[in-house]
Amino acid sequence: MTGPPDQPFRSLSGMRDVLAPESSRRRALVGEFAAVAGSAGYEEVVLPLVEDLGVFRRVGEATDVVTKEMYDFVDKDGTRIALRPEMTAGAVRAFVQHRPTLPWKVWYAGSNFRHERPQKGRYRSFDQVGVEVLGVDDADLDVEVIALGWRFYQRLGLRRIRLLLNSLGEHEDRVRYTEAVRRHLHARRDELSEAALETLERNPLRVLDSKRREDRAVIADAPKVAEHLSEDAAAHFARVRAGLDSLGIPYTIEDRLVRGLDYYRRTTFEYVADALDAAQNAVGGGGRYDRLAEDLGGPPTDGIGFALGVDRILLACDAESVFPAPSADMDAFVVDLVGGAAARDLTHLLRDAGMSADRRFGGGSMKSQMKSADRSGARFALIVGDDELAVDEVTVRDLRSGGEQRRVHRDQLIDDLRTHL
Ligand code: HAM
């Protein structure tokens, strides 16, 4: 027998409940994203929350996301599976599985899980919205994708977003560049932090991300990726920059931008919110990927995408005082002063007629019921008292016009409300 716990259960560390009105704000944010993506020809893809562990290996065997932070476990049938730490790998797995017609332009929204150290803006369960495009090797697509994210932030009203841009070159460029960085860091290893030395062994490029003071000086002198780009990669990058210039989207070239996942090549980018603390100010990021489709068993296919962190975007919106939660909205609220069946039946009559309607259960004073009506955001309070009931009428009070009211017969009520809504 199990009894009640000594302490009430709480959500796990780094995992949060989202209650109204914040929940409506999230839904509205996803709605805005769907509108922006939809208007550029992207269709929604809904992906499983768990995948075979192997799907995520390509996110980066040398990255923290895969080696340290993944929620992986053995399923009841012995398969090793994991909660998704991001959605690109799953999207490409779905592409390989279904082989949709090219180009495949999709958007998604959903939760991801990383066992990180929780702090403001960094959670173990967090939401992303994002896009992926497979099957197009054209720099103008990079421009389209980057502009789409930019437009979305603008639409939310965010003004303090900066776009950081880099190119990691082709696979071979990246390999050569990684080796050059490794040699540089190795030569100056005495100056590096313990953490940087450890990262250097696994993934030299990630050291460039270090924010530690002792590492910064060594990083400042590190070779630049621009010096290692092949002619093709440099031409591609020039075209991306020209496209952004032409659209008037401002960006900063950030040649230390290596991103936290391993699958990138050519264009990489990040959006940072200056309204947030520097440690958690990346509100989105993405880039072209390298060999992801092949590694998941498909034909060689070009791909690019981004994911934006919903939790952080909402923090940035708070900091800039934009994109508030939508106000509550309801057509009618039934105020029941008589008890019995009248209020119940009236509420359902309204809902059956396609209107939104709510009521208070268990009666209460007129004053307290009117308060509930106000809180619900209702346009009309429908008051059912003894007088009204006796003649089959309802008092309709317009809550948005200073409390103007009229008596309406039940038979005419729906038509009456429709003409006023
Ligand atoms: P990412 O940079 O790992 O990229 O994550 C994208 C965004 O998700 C980050 O910029 C951040 O806003 C948010 N985010 C990541 N981790 C957390 C966390 N623990 N708590 C809160 N927010 C977080 C990707 O996930 C790639 N799949 C992006 C991509 C798509 N690349 C190509 N296509």
pLDDT at residue 212 tops 90: no
**Mean of the per-residue pLDDT values for the chain?**
94
CATH of segment(s) 332-420: 3.40.50.800
Cβ of 128 closer than 6 Å to ligand 1, yes or no, is: yes
Question: Is pLDDT above 80 for 334?
Answer: yes
Name the token pair of 322: 């934009």
Cβ–ligand 1 distance for 264 under 6 Å, the answer: no
Q: Do 142 and 243 touch, CB atoms closer than 8 A?
A: yes
- Taking 70 as the threshold, does the pLDDT of residue 251 lie above it? yes
- Closest residue by Cα to residue 339 from 277, 384, 275: 384
Q: Averaged over 390-401, what is the pLDDT?
A: 95
Q: Which CATH superfamily is domain 22-170+230-320 in?
A: Bira Bifunctional Protein; Domain 2 (3.30.930.10)
Sign of CA dihedral 133, 169, 181, 209: negative
Distance 270 CA to ligand 1 centre (A): 10
Determine the atom of ligand 1 nearest the C-alpha atom of 65.
Answer: 3
Distance CA(350)–CA(154), nearest Å, equals 39
**Does the pLDDT of residue 1 top 80, yes or no?**
no
pLDDT 10s digits, 65-86 = 887 899 999 999 999 999 999 9
- Residue reference for tokens 């016009």: 401
The DSSP H or E segment spanning 270 is: strand 264-273
Is the distance from the beta carbon of residue 56 to the nearest atom of ligand 1 less than 6 Å?
Answer: no
345-365 pLDDT, tens digit each: 999 999 999 999 999 898 899
**How far, in Å, from the CA of 336 to the mean position of ligand 1?**
49
Q: Is the CB of 114 under 6 A from ligand 1?
A: yes
Ligand 1 pocket, 307 CB below 6 A?
yes
Structure tokens at 177: 């560049």
pLDDT at 231 over 80: yes
pLDDT score, position 277: 93
Q: Are strands 282-289 and 264-273 parallel, antiparallel or unpaired?
A: antiparallel
Q: Return the structure tokens found at 39.
A: 């208007």
SS3 391: coil
Q: What confidence tens digit (pLDDT) does each residue in 104-161 have?
A: 999 999 999 999 999 999 999 999 999 999 999 999 999 999 999 999 999 999 999 9
Distances (CA, A) of 173 to 90, 227, 229, 339, 343: 27, 10, 6, 77, 72
Nearest CA, atom 15, ligand 1: 309
* Domain locations along the chain: 22-170+230-320, 332-420
Taking the alpha carbons of 211, 217, 223, 226 in that order, is the dihedral positive or negative? positive
Q: 31: Cβ–Cβ under 8 A, 6 or more apart, which residues?
A: none
- Can you give the pLDDT at residue 76? 96
Instruction: Please determine, for residue 60, whether its predicted confidence score (pLDDT) is greater than 80.
Output: no
Q: 307: CA distance to ligand 1 center in Å?
A: 6
Read off the pLDDT of residues 117-128 as tens digits, 9 standing for 90 and up. 999 999 999 999
- pLDDT for residue 401: 86
Judge contact between 230 and 172, C-beta under 8 A: yes
Report pLDDT digits (tens) over 44-58: 999 999 999 999 987
Q: Is the CB of 305 under 6 A from ligand 1?
A: yes
CA distances from 199 to 21, 170, 196, 206, 215 (A): 42, 23, 5, 7, 12
Longest CA span, the chain: 93
For ligand 1, the distance from its centroid to the CA atom of residue 109, given in whole angstroms, is 12
Q: What is the mean pLDDT of residues 366-386?
A: 95
Q: What is the pLDDT of residues 158-167, one digit of tens each?
A: 999 999 999 9
What is the CA(416)–ligand 1 centre distance, in A? 51
Instruction: Look at the alpha carbons of 207, 226, 287, 303 in this order and tell me if their dihedral is positive or negative.
Output: negative
CB-based contacts of 94, cutoff 8 Å, min separation 6: 45, 47
pLDDT number for residue 291: 85
Q: Tens digits of per-residue pLDDT, 260-284?
A: 777 889 999 999 999 999 889 999 9
Identify the residue with better confidence: 311 or 340: 311
Nearest residue CA, atom 31 of ligand 1?
286
Q: What is the mean pLDDT of residues 386-414?
A: 94
Return the closest-CA partner of residue 113 out of 22, 49, 33, 30.
49
